[in-house]
Structure 1
Amino acid sequence: MILPLTAAPSYCNRFGVALLLVAIADFLFYGQPAGITVLLFAILIAAAVVAVHPAAFSDGKVWLKPAALLVALLPLAETVSPLSVSVALAALAAFALSLSGRLRHRMARIAGQILLFCLAAPVRFVGDFLQWRKAARRFGGRRIRLAAIAVWVMPLTLGAIFVALFGAANPVIEYWLSLIDLIRLLDLIQLTRIAFWLFALAGIWVFLRPRLPRFSKRVSRPNNPLAAAQPAINPQRHVVEDIVFGKAAILRALIVFNILFALQSGLDATYLWGGAALPDGLSYAAYAHRGAYPLIVTALLAAGFVLAALRPGSETSADPLIRRLVYTWVAQNIMLVVSSILRLDLYVGIYALTYWRIAAFVWMGLVAAGLALIIARIALGKSNEWLFSANLLTLSLALYACCYINFAATIASYNVDHSLEMTGQGIPLDAWYLRSLGPEAFPALDRFLDHQGSTADAGAVAEFARLRGVDEGWYRHLQENWRSWSFRDWRLLRYLDSRRPLVLPGVAEPDR
């Protein structure tokens, strides 16, 4: 098969689009803060993907894909965070694979494709370039390369002539040309900037030419025909597995597990929910902290056991008694997760809130949802692939919702409202940790400083108020660059513009 000459121009067109996007990325991101520009650039990439796949418009429901992509990109307008960027990248990968006709239909397979897409992204451009060169050498590469170069010779040559003529005829154009400083342009070419260009080119290229790595399966053939005719598995091994992991063993295990989990749930009901006195030397905080994470590990192990014991179509899965025991055990696991959430809530109430503790709450909720889906899988007779897809969908919806939650402001507000200084009980506020949360903590810090201004003298509070003013000045200076705009920052700026000046005894008002 002869490689058509149109392959090179098609390749060059995509490369030209990629170079244009790299130039835009340099303008938007290099040495600049990240904000609304991330959403704008994601939309430009999506438009480029549509442009290089014109055949996708033949589908009557083609508008559904851009609409779904826009929904996935909306968190970037709220704020730019690792989570919102990850959601956007996954959505762009699915969008590009969908337009190229490579996206599968089930959630689990789509997740696998996106994972492979991201793993292959760093080397996709290099691989495509080497593959194109190899094909070009085999099928008249010299002609293709010359044709690809020749199409640019005439436009560039005549374009340079026209620019020179316009410069001679028009003083404004002549003035613009005089502003071009070649020496200064050469100074802009730095190693870090070149590295940024290459990184941007590799990242953009994977969306313009979406491909998935191919894995060849090698089947080893035995050299000895007699060995091939013998059974590959020892029958005695099957007997051992049937005894150790058979129906009787699983039935006994479920009975024991239900008793143990009932005991644990009973202890939690007594001490955490019932308020019974703990043994000497053990506080509620220690009881809550020591049990939260191990219980989640226990629930995950229980879920793995249920999936292994009740495989679809197995003998154990069809037994009514085992199914009832599994339902009871999974329900106890859900109660165990709820107990873990209560433990963590008690611990947070004593030792304040942090990012990791919020992540633990989200994680525990996902585990509880996964356990409920296990019951649904058994009751409905679904496959493990269905369960995996349902869990992925739940995880995706949870992460998408988290993109709109201002966790820094939530942590700051909770810690201020439950601090010793504000309520007279609990632990003192770690104001320096709140400052590390960034500008989103400004409203909570202002409430804290307002309260301290009327009850405390100068000292540390005055110094902290001064630093609060410095941080606001830096933040306002950063927001003067339009590239850093986000809806969350816009709301915060409105608050900063509308609040009254902070006044503390002996503290000058910070510069606005």
Structure 2
Amino acid sequence: MKTMIVRGIPLAMQQDGWWLNSAERETADRSDTGRHQRRQRDLTRAAMLGLLIALGDALVWQVVPGLSLAVLGAAVFLVGLGLAWPRLSARTRVTAGAGAMLSLLPLVELVQPLSVLVALAGLSAVAAVLAGVQRADLMRAALRLWWIAPTQTVTDSVQSVRALQHVSPRGIDLRALAMGWALPGLATLIFGALLAGANPVLDRVLIQITTWEVPAPDMWRLWFWTFLGAAIWPVLVAYRMRERLRYRRPARATVVRPGLINAQSVARSLVAFNALFAVQTGMDVLYLYGDVALPEGISPASYAHRGAYPLLATALLAGLFAVLARPHLGARPVVRMLMMLWLAQTLALVFASVWRLDLYVDTFGLTRLRLAAYIWMDVVAVGLGITAQQVWQDRPTGWMTTRCAILGAVVLYACTIVNFDNLVAQHNLTRNVPEDRKMLCELSEAAMPAITRLTGMHASAFCDRYYFHPTLFQPDDWREWGFRNWRVRRSLAAIANQGAAE
């Protein structure tokens, strides 16, 4: 018997068995649709990136930093917020907007390294909010963003290059295309050459076109565009970094092993520290707060100046030791009370440091460094109070570090707004202290109104004997405008008008 083999699937079976591959076809269609939508979103983000780079070039390139930085930061945030808008709740949108505004305000006041740092840190936290990170993980996510964002930029760039390499012109016959344009192109060139030989005007135009030199690109400007694009792109694709920003290491059991810091060494150290600090506290009570005369050869000013900064360093080390020793306090009330007593004595040393610095400033005047010492002594005092509360209530270390970090962030933010040079000039020119004109002349333009108002002389005349003197900056356009500079120019104009009226 002869066997007949039918190759392929009969047409009737193909028509009746349409349901066999419908699921696979729907899955493939959905996959193609999702891929097309992702491609469209990426093209939209690439277009937004190009527009923001062009805006940054117009606002920042070869312009003295001013209001333009804040405008660029606001534009980047608004585009990132618009792209992430559907995935965010109303509360998250308001939070991100408030955070961006607070981050950019120091740049409006004055563009300086500290205000730039505050803006970058604040916008990093805002980018983490746009990525969908919860408030509990926001600080850690903002720190992770500094190394995750460059990785995301490089990864997306590599994937874009690979995607372009695999793009093929489907449905286009390249041979037919070349054959279709070969004759028109070649004939047009021949006739154009003949007409140019017969027409001197057309010949001159063609010569100018062929001899036109394309200007070489500015390499520094290209690097600026590259850096700007790398910094902006993570904000536009913040959602892609969400899982890595929220990543947490698995909890590990903490095993306390006997070492240099243990229960016995902590208890003995606290006894020795309390005794040593009691000696210093007693001498401060006698020489700083009492009327006991200092030994011969030691003036009150030298005693105050010599002890201010070392005691501040001592307080910082004491706080660090308290953090390291807290797990070893155990349930022994005596050791815990010794720790609280030592922290109280450390806090007393900080107050003594402030008192010493105050005596020295009353004698020799205020400087930027002494003003910074005032601020950090107060910060250390509050930090020691937080540490004491942690020890007393047996709080975890993360509780203390979070509050200390918030304290430091608030103080740094406030420092971007306060006009310290004006405070230094006003203090020294209104107190009975030796006039350090050289130090005053090395201050910024922010000290010019105080110098002009309190000395009756313009800053340039007041500092005519010195090489350094405050110089008033005049912005060329709105991009270089700054709120503090505007206040200085307005104050000087008011002083000049008042002098002319008198």
TM range (shorter): 0.7 to 0.9
Helix, strand or coil for the counterpart of 1:97? Answer: helix
Answer whether contact 1:92 1:207 (CA < 8 A) is retained: no
The residue that corresponds to 1:88 in the other structure is 119
Q: Tell me the percent identity.
A: 31
Match of 1:374 among 373, 378, 387: 387
The residue that corresponds to 1:309 in the other structure is 325
- Within 5 Å, which residues of 2 pair with 1:343-382? 343-382=356-395
Cα separation, 2, equivalents of 1:400 and 1:188: 43
Compute the displacement of 1:498 (Å). 1.2
The residue that corresponds to 1:154 in the other structure is none
TM-score where L is the length of structure 1? 0.73
The residue that corresponds to 2:436 in the other structure is 429
Listed one character per residue, the Cα deviations across residues 332-358 of structure 1 (whole Å, up to 9, x for unaligned) are 111111112222233333443333322
Answer whether contact 2:81 2:130 (CA < 8 A) is retained: yes
- Within 5 Å, which residues of 2 pair with 1:189-208? 189-208=217-236
Compute the displacement of 1:187 (Å). 4.9
Structure with higher Rg: it is 2
The residue that corresponds to 1:463 in the other structure is 464
Helix, strand or coil for the counterpart of 1:77? Answer: helix
The residue that corresponds to 2:310 in the other structure is 294
Answer whether contact 1:8 1:144 (CA < 8 A) is retained: no
Listed one character per residue, the Cα deviations across residues 451-490 of structure 1 (whole Å, up to 9, x for unaligned) are 799xxxxx9858359997x934xx2xx2342112222222
The letter for the 1-side match of 2:496 is R
Cα separation, 2, equivalents of 1:279 and 1:78: 49
- Within 5 Å, which residues of 2 pair with 1:85-164? 85-101=116-132, 103-106=133-136, 109-121=137-149, 124-133=152-161, 136=163, 142-143=166-167
Cα separation, 2, equivalents of 1:188 and 1:493: 41
Listed one character per residue, the Cα deviations across residues 251-284 of structure 1 (whole Å, up to 9, x for unaligned) are 2322221111111111122222224322222233
Cα separation, 1, equivalents of 2:488 and 2:280: 46
Answer whether contact 2:70 2:104 (CA < 8 A) is retained: yes
Match of 1:277 among 284, 293, 301: 293
Cα separation, 2, equivalents of 1:339 and 1:127: 55
The residue that corresponds to 1:228 in the other structure is none
Match of 1:383 among 372, 376, 396: 396
Compute the displacement of 1:47 (Å). 0.2
Cα separation, 2, equivalents of 1:356 and 1:200: 35
Runs of 4+ aligned residues of structure 1 deviating over 6 Å after TM superposition are: 144-147, 212-219, 465-468
Cα separation, 2, equivalents of 1:262 and 1:281: 25
Helix, strand or coil for the counterpart of 2:53? Answer: helix
Within the alignment, does 1:260 sit opposite 2:276 as a pair?
yes
Answer whether contact 1:412 1:444 (CA < 8 A) is retained: yes
The alignment covers a number of residue pairs equal to: 425
Listed one character per residue, the Cα deviations across residues 404-446 of structure 1 (whole Å, up to 9, x for unaligned) are 201121122223333xxxx3xx333234x33332211111221
The letter for the 2-side match of 1:193 is R
Compute the displacement of 1:74 (Å). 2.3
- Within 5 Å, which residues of 2 pair with 1:393-432? 393-418=406-431, 423=432, 426-431=433-438
Question: Alpha carbons of 1:104 and 1:266: their partners in 2 closer, same or farther (altered >3 Å)?
Answer: farther
The letter for the 1-side match of 2:441 is R
The residue that corresponds to 1:37 in the other structure is 68
Within the alignment, does 1:492 sit opposite 2:488 as a pair?
yes
Cα separation, 2, equivalents of 1:193 and 1:452: 40
Cα separation, 1, equivalents of 2:446 and 2:404: 32
Question: Alpha carbons of 1:20 and 1:145: their partners in 2 closer, same or farther (altered >3 Å)?
Answer: farther
Within the alignment, does 1:4 sit opposite 2:35 as a pair?
yes
Cα separation, 2, equivalents of 1:266 and 1:60: 54
Helix, strand or coil for the counterpart of 2:80? Answer: helix
Unaligned 5+ runs, structure 1: 148-180, 220-232, 454-458, 504-508
The letter for the 2-side match of 1:278 is L
Answer whether contact 1:353 1:411 (CA < 8 A) is retained: yes
Helix, strand or coil for the counterpart of 2:471? Answer: helix
The letter for the 1-side match of 2:44 is N
Compute the displacement of 1:122 (Å). 5.1
Listed one character per residue, the Cα deviations across residues 364-388 of structure 1 (whole Å, up to 9, x for unaligned) are 2221111111111123332111111
The letter for the 2-side match of 1:471 is T
Answer whether contact 1:90 1:114 (CA < 8 A) is retained: yes
Match of 2:82 among 51, 76, 82: 51
Question: Alpha carbons of 1:379 and 1:95: their partners in 2 closer, same or farther (altered >3 Å)?
Answer: same
Helix, strand or coil for the counterpart of 2:93? Answer: coil
Question: Alpha carbons of 1:369 and 1:216: their partners in 2 closer, same or farther (altered >3 Å)?
Answer: closer
Within the alignment, does 1:16 sit opposite 2:60 as a pair?
no
The letter for the 2-side match of 1:67 is A
TM-score where L is the length of structure 2? 0.74
Compute the displacement of 1:326 (Å). 1.3
Answer whether contact 1:370 1:391 (CA < 8 A) is retained: yes
Cα separation, 1, equivalents of 2:306 and 2:214: 60
The residue that corresponds to 1:450 in the other structure is 456
The letter for the 1-side match of 2:56 is A
The letter for the 1-side match of 2:72 is F
Question: Alpha carbons of 1:145 and 1:408: their partners in 2 closer, same or farther (altered >3 Å)?
Answer: farther
The letter for the 2-side match of 1:485 is W
Listed one character per residue, the Cα deviations across residues 146-190 of structure 1 (whole Å, up to 9, x for unaligned) are 99xxxxxxxxxxxxxxxxxxxxxxxxxxxxxxxxx9x99965842
Cα separation, 1, equivalents of 2:249 and 2:395: 31
Helix, strand or coil for the counterpart of 1:278? Answer: coil
Compute the displacement of 1:391 (Å). 0.7
Unaligned 5+ runs, structure 2: 1-30, 172-208
Output the aligned Cα RMSD. 3.8
Answer whether contact 2:141 2:246 (CA < 8 A) is retained: no
Match of 2:339 among 305, 326, 341: 326
